Structure 1
């Protein structure tokens, strides 16, 4: 039932004191028309006579007379000391009459009255399911977020009087405290040498990629990606009008010889990489190949997007520093996600690039997200300043390492005859290669019957590939055991 306070009576009630028709009759007629057109839904409680009289600037007795007329005609039911309600069971309320007197059914238009171009690229790849268990592509477990501490910081920032004046201002007019804190964090943790002018805050890695693509790419520009590569980034590049060409990926990352060959025969505009852990295969781009990429990009003049989507999660030795840390020619655009170990609502994306590009990217971001999220940025700034982000990461990385090891153990124990994989040095997913005779679509259907969801985006089946990117970060040990059991039973059923 709609609240009477939500109905904009002044937008459809227009009374004319110069007409011969009495004001109360005009009001009754216009309320009837509003019910017929769906402006006042059936079952709605109408405002009281005093409130409606005040809203329409007329005498209360006029409103009372109009309500009595509506009740007499069978449109409303007046309940003493309770209120007036639009009847649900009247056939009158379900119909309308056009100018010729014909009764017609009124409803919102099913289609536009004009043509527009439909995208065959931006079909939503992100599926949902009612299954209890799910293998994703490597998403953190929101249950591990330090909710109490986040809530404490959020409440404190809302209460600070100095923050109130910035809640309605644009990002450019606010203090740069978060950018400064994030700069320090990135410089210390990733070996960068940046200043706030080299940093742009976005909502996500995907938004960062979109802004970069829209700024740098023109129709038919050539973008190089690994094979296989991140589906969302590919969609973004294609939507920008670019041509995508893939190059092989082996145990050391993208094959440099293939990249060099394309450089010699084509004009490359952009190279998209996830070098820390290649998406989806999780392999790390070797130091030698990183150096080669930087050399080729400088020599042939193409930009490099270094998407460091899961840098925070490394388990063995110290991770390789980002390519951006060794880029002295301004060829690398470094993107990532800060706070990925936190609940999704507390994460943010960022772009690191030379100042002249940041200025251009900021122009587009201002159009897309002029307000930003000042309070959230202050919360994240406090997390860095208070050291909470380091403590949270230390605890979560230890737990995710245990989950990686346990998932590896379960797959090797229960499915060793079907699957082969290497244990990654970091990240929240395993790249698993399966025997060629397994039909992954049939496997997905069989698992769904047992309450285990396998999104299409984690399944990779082609002539020379049968692989699944198995995310383990969102599952505890009990959930992993159940999931692997269902997987094993489902494979047995489709064999």
Structure 2
């Protein structure tokens, strides 16, 4: 046994882990692997100390640790043994005879099913240049003001309250500020009790899908609707149906045809700037959609992901602002206001629904970041966010105009588009002969990210189209990016 342990144990003196813990951990591993079976007698502390060339006190400490953990048992006058109460473990075959266990950290020993609807690449920032999905320019964000507000929340006030558990619905102060802000800018009539703070729109969609949908329910979405929403609907067991989109938004006549054929539980819509095409839902269709909701009893989930960014006239008010029947759930996010790193969104609805969804939020995310939420409340209260938005709208409008002009000059033979009234991206349809997947791959070699169009298939008709975001790039970066695409084409 002494020779066996000598061969299997090694000691790194001066390492980060104390030597007695190194020895204890290695012996425990040998027991778990079945190399040391229950009832085996270990060498004396003196023998093991001499063999490993360490002080006897270190071996005593190691044995004491293993005794405390239950791996060993000691009998006075008889020695120390591997605990007899442990189950007998078969000695494993050498690793080279079991190639499937080469790395248990990479491959689980149990089976599980993967779902195809979750198979979507995670977009991460990485390239120097980017014509992305329509993201803000974090370089414009009021980061210094946010930093001061966050620091203030960390240091001031009752520490037990500010650093303890809070309301699952989110910071009450932020809900107050959001309520006032949404009522003023979007014509809503909310109270703080009508608002649930989320970590972005995606959490709001998840909570609605989990709390309000049942397996087999029918959900209707615009053709080529946001994949993040569709993933949640499918995960909840719903059947997702699609209706066409034209220059005036969702085809509400096609929607009613679906309603006549089967019960519809929920309709998901990006009414202000349809995702991905950026078109707005026309006023008469808005009225029809609200009437259909009452007539057929379906929920309207209105995703207003970039309402604050409109460049021509006053934007159309949300459907939620004219909802006397309580059929609309309204969600938005400050991700597009500051940057995707700050996960602060909101879900607006009747109080009973907000209470219901807050209970679901509690089991997946006890509460949000109270420090960040209160810091955001302070910026709203002081008007800093509002001033930042006014500045951003001016800057993004200039970038939109420049970007569209650059595309007209350099890409007119390859792509077609309409200048969007708002938002942060241009819906661009490329010539069918152009391989967008290949174009995106070549662009990456030039340190430029563009989407490859794989996610943008309207119904079953490939449009060879992508969203090209302009807001996150400076004028110089936009010129360089368009130049790269022109040269590649």
Q: TM-score range by the shorter chain?
A: 0.7 to 0.9
What is the number of residues matched between the two proteins? 436
Corresponding position: 1:256 with 2:252? yes
Which of 380, 397, 403 is matched with 2:376 structurally? Answer: 380
Deviations 1:220-271 (A, max 9, x none): 2111111121111111111111111111111111011111111122211110
Which of 340, 343, 349 is matched with 1:344 structurally? Answer: 340
In the alignment, what sits opposite 1:331?
Answer: 327
Deviation at 1:99, TM superposition (A): 7.5
In the alignment, what sits opposite 1:65?
Answer: none
Which of 470, 482, 485 is matched with 1:484 structurally? Answer: 482
Cα distance between partner residues in 1 of 2:381 and 2:19: 43
Cα distance between partner residues in 2 of 1:245 and 1:173: 31
Please list, as runs of the form range in 1=range in 2, the aligned pairs for 1:34-433 lying within 5 A after superposition: 108-109=103-104, 110-128=106-124, 130-172=126-168, 176-338=172-334, 340-433=336-429
Cα distance between partner residues in 2 of 1:165 and 1:53: 46
Corresponding position: 1:4 with 2:2? no
Contact 1:271–1:302 (CA under 8 A) maintained in structure 2: yes
The DSSP-based 3-state class of the residue aligned with 1:4 is coil
Cα distance between partner residues in 2 of 1:216 and 1:171: 21
Cα distance between partner residues in 1 of 2:418 and 2:19: 58
Cα distance between partner residues in 2 of 1:132 and 1:270: 40
Contact 2:134–2:423 (CA under 8 A) maintained in structure 1: yes
Deviation at 1:357, TM superposition (A): 1.1
Cα distance between partner residues in 2 of 1:432 and 1:230: 17
The DSSP-based 3-state class of the residue aligned with 1:350 is strand
Q: Which stretch has the larger CA shift, 308-317 or 453-462? A: 453-462
Contact 1:225–1:272 (CA under 8 A) maintained in structure 2: yes
Cα distance between partner residues in 2 of 1:52 and 1:397: 69
Contact 1:222–1:243 (CA under 8 A) maintained in structure 2: yes
Deviation at 1:336, TM superposition (A): 0.5
Cα distance between partner residues in 1 of 2:128 and 2:187: 41
Deviations 1:422-457 (A, max 9, x none): 111110000112222222122223323333222336
Deviation at 1:387, TM superposition (A): 0.8
CA root-mean-square deviation: 3.4
Q: Which stretch has the larger CA shift, 232-241 or 111-120? A: 111-120
The DSSP-based 3-state class of the residue aligned with 1:336 is strand
Change over 3 Å in CA distance of 1:211–1:340 after alignment to 2? same
Deviations 1:369-401 (A, max 9, x none): 103211011100101111111111111111111
Deviation at 1:127, TM superposition (A): 3.7
The DSSP-based 3-state class of the residue aligned with 2:433 is coil
Deviation at 1:483, TM superposition (A): 0.9
Change over 3 Å in CA distance of 1:195–1:129 after alignment to 2? closer
In the alignment, what sits opposite 2:463?
Answer: 465
Change over 3 Å in CA distance of 1:296–1:233 after alignment to 2? same
Cα distance between partner residues in 2 of 1:173 and 1:322: 22
Runs of 4+ in 1 over 4 A off after TM superposition: 5-14, 24-29, 48-58, 98-108, 172-175, 461-464
Q: TM-score, normalised by structure 1?
A: 0.79
Contact 1:459–1:469 (CA under 8 A) maintained in structure 2: no
Change over 3 Å in CA distance of 1:458–1:403 after alignment to 2? farther
Corresponding position: 1:22 with 2:35? no
Cα distance between partner residues in 2 of 1:397 and 1:49: 73
Cα distance between partner residues in 1 of 2:56 and 2:146: 47
Contact 2:140–2:392 (CA under 8 A) maintained in structure 1: yes
The DSSP-based 3-state class of the residue aligned with 1:168 is coil
Contact 1:136–1:458 (CA under 8 A) maintained in structure 2: no
Cα distance between partner residues in 2 of 1:286 and 1:101: 69
Cα distance between partner residues in 2 of 1:455 and 1:264: 37
Contact 2:135–2:339 (CA under 8 A) maintained in structure 1: no
Deviations 1:120-148 (A, max 9, x none): 21113324475432221101111211111
Cα distance between partner residues in 2 of 1:161 and 1:391: 27
Deviations 1:97-118 (A, max 9, x none): x976986579652433332222
Deviation at 1:204, TM superposition (A): 1.1
Contact 2:453–2:464 (CA under 8 A) maintained in structure 1: no
Contact 1:313–1:428 (CA under 8 A) maintained in structure 2: yes
Cα distance between partner residues in 2 of 1:170 and 1:28: 57
List gaps (5 residues or longer) in structure 1. 33-45, 59-97
Contact 1:131–1:453 (CA under 8 A) maintained in structure 2: yes
Cα distance between partner residues in 2 of 1:230 and 1:3: 49
Contact 1:227–1:247 (CA under 8 A) maintained in structure 2: yes
